Structure 1
Amino acid sequence: MPIISDFEDATELLETYDFLLKFIIIGEAGTGKSCLLHHFTQNTFKEHSQHTIGVEFSSRTVNIGEKRVKLQLWDTAGQERFRSVTRSYYRGAAGAILVYDITDRATFTNLSRWLADARALASPHLVTILVGNKSDREEEREVEWSEASRWAAENDLHFLETSSLYGDNVEAPFLLAARSILLSIESGVLDPEKAGSGVSYGDRALRRFSNASRISFGSLSMASSRKGTMKVRLKGMFGGGGKCC
C-alpha cells in the first residue's frame, strides 16, 4: 500500500500549482531508487534504507520556468515478487526515472525489461530518464558511462549519472523529465485533459501557455515548499547521450 504522511496529505490541500505530473521510479532492487527519491524530496541521504515493499508515495512541488508543477512520485519495489502489484502503478504515468547501479552489471542488463513494461503500460507520451546511480563508487564501477550513454541513445532516452549518497545530480532527472513534459504540453503533443496522459491541471492553470510564459531552455528554477528556494542551471547538457555528472 502507498504510504502518505499526514503532512503530505495536509500539504496537498494547501498547495496551488499549474500542473500535476505522475512519475514512477523503476529499476532493480538495490539500485538506490528510494535513496535517490529521498534526497530529491528531503535534501538528505536516507540512512539505513530498506528494500521498498510494494509501492511508496511522496511528492514535491517545483518551478519550471513560469510554471509551478507538483510531482506525484511513486517509488516501486524492484523485487520480482512485487511485480504484479507495482506494474499497476505504471498506468497513466507521464514520467519514469529508470535507475540502475553503476557497480552492478546485472541491474543494467535488465533495463530493457523495465523500459518495455513502462512503455507498454504508462502514458503513450511517457518521458523516461535513464539514471546510473552510485557515481560516488567509481572504483567499483562495472558499467562504463559510454556504454550506458550508447544504450540510452539507442532507446531514445536522456541519460545521466547520480550519487544519492552525496546528492550529486539528484535534482536533474526529475527536473529534466518535468521540463520535457511541459514542452510537450506547450507544443500540443500532450493534452492534460486526455485520460491516461499522466498530467492534470492544477488550480493555477490557464489552460494554455501564453508567449510571455514560454519555458526557457537556458535554465530551470526549482522551489520546494518544504526546503525553501533553490535554483539549478542545466545548460545544453541533456542530449540523448550527453554526460551530466
Structure 2
Amino acid sequence: MAINDYDADATELLETYDFLMKYIIIGEAGTGKSCLLHHFTHNSFKEHSQHTIGVEFSSRTVKLGEKRIKLQLWDTAGQERFRSVTRSYYRGAAGAILVYDITSRASFANLSRWLADARALGSPNLVVVLVGNKSDREDEREVEWAEASRWAADHDVHFLETSSLTGDNVEAPFLLCARSILLSIESGALDPEKAGSGVSYGDRALRRVNSSSRLSFGSLSVGRRNRGSTRLKLKDLVPGTSNSRCC
C-alpha cells in the first residue's frame, strides 16, 4: 500500500463531525423498529429479525448541507417487561423516532403512552418523528394515513410513512429529526453545551466556534410556527421526494 493511501485510510478512521446527537427508537414490539434502523445504518433489510432484548446501540454519520452529524441510535425493546430498563435510556435524548405498524391498530393505539414517556425523560427540546412502518403492506392497512397525520398534528410531532422492507423513506425520519435539531440550535432554543440537551459539539464545530460567535446553517433556515416548533417539508430533505405524505 502506498504511503498516501495509508494516510487517507488513517484520516477516515479519525472521523470528525460537527455535532453528536442522541436518538431513541421507540414503539410497540413487532412494529419493525430494528429493521428500520438496520436499513438506515446498513442500507439493507434485516432478515430473520428477532425482538430486541433491552437496548441495542448503533450509529451513523450523516451530512446536512455543510454539517456532518453523528447520530447515536438507541434501539429499545417494545415489550412491557423491558420498560423499566429501556426508559433509563430515554434520558437526555435529543430526538425520538416513534414507530407504529400501519397494519396494527393496537400499535397505533398505544402511541400516547410512548410519547409521554419520551417527553418526560428526554431533552426539554426533544424532537419527535412519528413513523408509520410497513407501508409496503397497503392491502393489510388498519391505520389510514390521514388519521395518523391528524394524531401527529394534535401532538405536535412530525409524521411520515416508511417501509423497512423496501427501503422506501427509511432515511427521511432520521434526517428530518436532525434538521429540526439543527434549526433549534441556530435559533438559540437549544444549547449543545447545556447538560441534558442530547447534543454536543464535535471537533469540526468547535474549531468553527473559536472563529465565529454564531454557527450558520445557510439553507437550513425555514419558516417557523408561532408556537416555536418547526414544520419541514420532506422534499427539502430528500431531493425528488414528494412531501404529500409528510407533515
Taking structure 1 as the reference length, what is the TM-score of the superposition?
0.85
After superposition, where does 1:1-245 map in structure 2 within 5 Å? 14-205=14-205, 206-207=208-209, 209-211=214-216, 213-215=218-220, 219-220=236-237, 232-233=238-239, 237=243, 243-244=245-246
- 2:91, 2:121 within 8 Å by CA — same for their partners in 1? yes
Q: Between the two proteins, what is the percent identity of the paired residues?
A: 81
Inter-CA distance 219–150: structure 2 relative to 1 (3 Å threshold): closer
CA offset digits 1:186-220 (Å, max 9, x no partner): 01000000000000000000235444745266744
CA offset digits 1:158-201 (Å, max 9, x no partner): 11000000000000000000000000000100000000000000
Structure with greater proportional helix content: 2
Work out the CA distance in 2 between the residues paired with 1:143 and 1:123: 29
Report 1 or 2 for greater relative contact order, CA contacts < 8 Å, sequence distance ≥ 6. 1
Q: What residue ranges of structure 2 are gaps of 5+ in the alignment?
A: 1-9, 223-234
Work out the CA distance in 1 between the residues paired with 2:12 and 2:23: 16
Work out the CA distance in 2 between the residues paired with 1:34 and 1:212: 31
Cα distance, 1:15 vs. partner?
A: 1.0
Inter-CA distance 37–209: structure 2 relative to 1 (3 Å threshold): farther
Taking structure 2 as the reference length, what is the TM-score of the superposition?
0.84
* Structure index of larger Rg: 2
Inter-CA distance 12–118: structure 2 relative to 1 (3 Å threshold): farther
Structure with greater proportional strand content: 1
- 1:19, 1:202 within 8 Å by CA — same for their partners in 2? yes
Cα distance, 1:236 vs. partner?
A: 8.0
Cα distance, 1:14 vs. partner?
A: 2.1
Cα distance, 1:96 vs. partner?
A: 0.2
Work out the CA distance in 1 between the residues paired with 2:90 and 2:123: 8
Cα distance, 1:233 vs. partner?
A: 1.9
